[in-house]
Structure 1
């Protein structure tokens, strides 16, 4: 039963306008109490502005011109209030005046029965006004390079991606839209880790750097941790952290498989999650042995921006190259060629090869072959990281890391038996 059924429609609308505009007024009233500077409006002014917006909409029967003129008149009064505050206090903020204009629009939207939009504008306004200090502190922490980086992400995802054709081209069935979508997805995962590293670099620890860096690039993280282990005697801490980074790699691969190939996800996601979780648990327990149990801080490494246009184009080229190479290997070299290619790709970045497998699986490459090739590539990458760690780390940390990563590679290959 509708509790407002017995009320006139206008009464319901007026109640809704009063309620929403009162929320903004309450927030402004609190600001006036806590702020010594002149502040515009409060619990009476904002409801009145909302009622004016609704009344003009009713009188004009929803026509745009009268509502626009009413908006201009309200804006003129707000401009006078702003000028008075500016001349008396010198404070140039316009948040109060802009919230007044938003309140006027709330009244007009309620008349058109756009209750959801009116509520969304009200709630958003209250949140933005209430979180003033927090948002200003966040803005001070954001550097110009971070804004540019996010703009590059929007360029990759919201500008370039929709322009690409979603059709199969050439005899190798290259889909430009899918190719760039893979680039965006992989870049987004790395970008999330990149942002987290930049936001937390002041309190970064070895374990946290391994955890976050593994989502960015477990190979790069292994190299950085291996080099820094020479400056510290806590071999357990660094060898365990390198194992954690490689464990995160399996979780990262499980996410990418879930995004781009459901069949491969069903075969590999659960084993990868279990293997990655086990590696992270063992790495954490090992890192806590002896003095390594302390949360030693470290200067975090500066990862390369994953959203550089050149990096995205390079990944796209590698991805297409892996699609072509995989199809040629299947046609001319058989299974041995695919597995050899997977082993070789473990030396560098396995993402282009694995993402290529997600696109060719079931169509060009049999599903069982594709899943086995992904397992081989990940195991090969772990072996190569073990060699990097053994070569670049202190002697003890290098031996421990090589044993751990070799064991992780063997455990990964054991998945082939399943």
Structure 2
């Protein structure tokens, strides 16, 4: 290790200690001077000390680094014990943070600097999220915790045991692949569900629309339609929230396709991105001419990690995959479009997953693209129909319907301008 590299690595170790020291100092900024065990300077020096231990390790051996780490931990524990006897705070977070800073400082010198720096940022973010995490735990229900644990166990324990091959006479259903896709969708939906649970849907209609769109844009549209019927003056703002949810639903389709069939995702983006942008533009237009006093209704969204919900989606996905394979083999692509349209009435994720996976098994890229777009269009139209059935001719379904027409029109324009060379390159 030359001198320049050594200075650079020690600088990273110092920066890690400084970053976590700033966070620790901010958390304890109200404590009187000298009333806390460690602050910005102490954590910065601990990071530098870890880096120096790593730098001296080749000449002094690993035992020296370990002994220094134990000494730092012992001194910190002794001082923290005296502090705890005064203020009654027996948290060991500070102890662990000091040891992490030392270890990351050593890693920055002896190992990968990028990994050490990333670890420092992650540790600081985790420490800073204390209030949010504790608040989330207070609101976490036993059903949510149980569902997440059961699904994690089924994914990490059961998934490796599932056969990674088709097991039916029609060569359509792969248990390993089916369960993996099901959990992937549940995890994507859970991100939005956690956002609603942590920040609360009452942070605003637009936030609720964005978070609800990650969970279920259909459920959010129904919730907002009922609220718009009760409070017609909020129809414009609620329609904007539903539009944002719809645009994020299209974004989900793009993400799913890009993950499973990247080349098909590129072709799909030519149609869906204009549709998504048109829906967002309509949402901002609706916000501009709507009342600013609207309040977000309470969202009644199902926990996407609840086992029954996941199994229902898995069953639907398996049925669509099986029907799609049979129809493609025996009836041709024309009937496959019918399956896509019917699937879009219920859920656009399932047909997107099955279609994207089928492109790797010989399904024509053009057929796959058309099927996904048909399902997306039917899904958007179905939400407008549901809203109209609840709120009649109110502002909510009218504005949502106009936005949907604009979105479908923009998507159609993108589809007609799709370069054939791009579509031709979407093979398996």
> Are 1:113 and 2:107 counterparts?
no
2:131 alignment partner in structure 1: 137
Alignment correspondent of 1:250 = 250
What are the Cα deviations for residues 147-200 of structure 1, in whole angstroms up to 9, with x where unaligned? 666656755665554554444444424333332332233223222222222233
**Structure 2 vs 1, CA of residues 199 and 2 (structure 1 numbering), >3 Å: closer, same or farther?**
same
CA contact 2:201–2:208 (8 Å) conserved in 1: no
Going from structure 1 to structure 2, the CA distance change for 1:162 and 1:117 (only over 3 Å counts) comes to: farther
Instruction: Point out which structure has higher relative CO (alpha carbons under 8 A, 6+ apart).
Output: 2
Aligned residue in 2 for 1:185 = 184
What is the CA distance between 1:393 and its match in structure 2? 1.0
Quote the residue 1:210 is aligned against: 209
Q: Report the counterpart of residue 292 of structure 2 in structure 1.
A: 294
Name the CA distance, whole Å, in 1 between partners of 2:79 and 2:219: 57
Cα separation, partners in 2 of 1:394 and 1:92, compared to 1, 3 Å = same
Please say which of residues 178-187 and 50-59 is displaced more in the overlay: 50-59
**Separation (CA, whole Å) in 1 of partners of 2:284 and 2:311:** 36
Q: Is the 8 A contact 1:211 1:245 kept in 2?
A: yes
Cα distance in 2 for partners of 1:386, 1:175 equals 35
Residue correspondence of structure 1 range 379-398 to structure 2 within 5 A: 379-397=377-395
Deviates most, 407-416 or 166-175: 407-416
State the SS of the aligned residue for 1:296: coil
Q: TM-score, normalization: structure 1? A: 0.77
Bigger drift between 261-270 and 217-226 goes to 261-270
- Matched residue, 1:40: 37
Residues 41 and 82 of structure 1: CA distance in aligned 2, closer, same or farther (over 3 Å):
same
Residues 358-383 of structure 1 deviation map (CA, whole Å, 9 limit, x = unaligned): 11136353222222222222222223
Aligned to 2:303: 305
> Residue in 2 aligned with 1:378?
376
CA contact (8 A) 2:278 2:403 kept: no
**Distance of 1:383 and 1:25 partners within structure 2:** 50
Q: CA deviation at 1:313?
A: 2.3
Query: 144-153 or 49-58: which moved more?
Result: 49-58
Deviation, 1:347, is 2.2
For 1:284 and 1:122, locate their aligned partners in 2 and report how far apart those are by CA, in whole Å: 39
**Corresponding residue for residue 420 of structure 2:** none
Question: Would the alpha carbon gap of residues 94 and 321 (structure 1) be closer, same or farther in structure 2, given more than 3 Å must change?
Answer: same
Alignment match, 1:127: 124
Deviations 1:92-124 (A, max 9, x none): 2334444454466568668x8336389549845
Structure 1 residue 357, shift from structure 2 partner? 0.9
Aligned to 1:224: 223
Counterpart-to-counterpart distance in 1, 2:181 and 2:291: 39
Give the distance between the partners of 1:122 and 1:239, measured in 2 at CA.
42
Partner residue, 2:271: 271
Contact map agreement 2:276 2:407 (CA 8 A) in 1: no
Question: In angstroms, what is the RMSD of aligned CA positions?
Answer: 4.3
Runs (4+) off by over 6 Å: 12-18, 28-33, 413-416
Against the structure 1 CA distance between its residues 243 and 26, is the aligned structure 2 distance closer, same or farther, given a 3 Å change threshold? closer
TM-score by length of 2: 0.76
| Counterpart Cα distance in 2 of 1:395 and 1:206 | 21
Report which of the two structures shows the higher radius of gyration computed on alpha carbons.
1
Distance 2:241 2:42 in 1: 59
2:259 maps to 259
Contact kept in structure 1, 2:236 and 2:395, CA below 8 Å: yes
C-alpha distance in 2, partners of 1:208/1:320?
Answer: 33
Distance in structure 1 (CA, Å) of the matches to 2:121 and 2:50: 16
Q: 1:357 to 1:3 in 2, by over 3 A?
A: same
- d(CA) in 2 for partners of 1:282, 1:186: 27
> Where does structure 1 lack aligned partners over 5 or more consecutive residues?
none
CA distance in 2, matches of 1:14, 1:212: 41
Matches within 5 A, 1:23-34: 23=18
Contact 1:241–1:284 (Cα < 8 Å) also in 2: no
